[in-house]
Amino acid sequence: MVNTVCNRANVPSNRTPRPSISLCGASLSQESSFPSQQDASIPHTPNSSTASNPKKNVRGRTRGIALRKLNKKKNNEKLVIHIDPEQGRPVDSVESAKLSSELGQIARESLRVPIKWKDLDHEDFMPAFHHLDMNLKIDDPCEENIEDVMGILKNCVRHQRHNLHKHFKKFSSVEDAIRNKPSYGGLS
């Protein structure tokens, strides 16, 4: 059988080499090029070039830069958040995105990581609401709207706990996990 591909790279193979004759860059094999039954039972193992995947570029954690630019564009006025009482969230997509980003940043940086949500008391939320009040303004700070914001913050804290759990689950012992604390999450 004639091999029509010239200059093929030497790829490691599990097959036994067969004697071949080279004529003008093409090779003729003395045996059939179909794999035998013995070759079919050998599992394919990827070589080093296909086994390692480079790290993907990811977006990263929000730092609130877009909200600060938006406030600066408005002559340092805070973005006003209108919370719909029926949905419990802002209806406007920009307001919803900025509120969620800001609450995610608060959950990572200003709040301690609780075992249960009920373990957080009023003093724990004071820095969070102070941080939120620096960049955003809730149009009607009634009790219902505060509860809605607390519900969104609760989801952000739960997500933060999950990310920390995934990070610490990578290590085999508690000592290794404590030595390799992540730079985020307020665990310094």
Q: What is the mean pLDDT of residues 116-136?
A: 83
d(CA 35, CA 21): 19
From 43-52, 54-63, 76-85, 133-142, the region with the lowest mean pLDDT? 43-52
C-alpha distances out from residue 132 to 122, 128, 149, 185, Å: 15, 6, 10, 17
Q: Is 1 helix (H, G, I), strand (E, B) or coil?
A: coil
Alpha-carbon distance of 73 to 65, in angstroms, equals 12
Lowest-confidence segment of 66-70, 102-106, 135-139, 153-157 by average pLDDT: 66-70
Other residues' Cβ atoms within 10 Å of the Cβ of residue 153: 24
Q: Quick one: pLDDT at residue 12?
A: 55
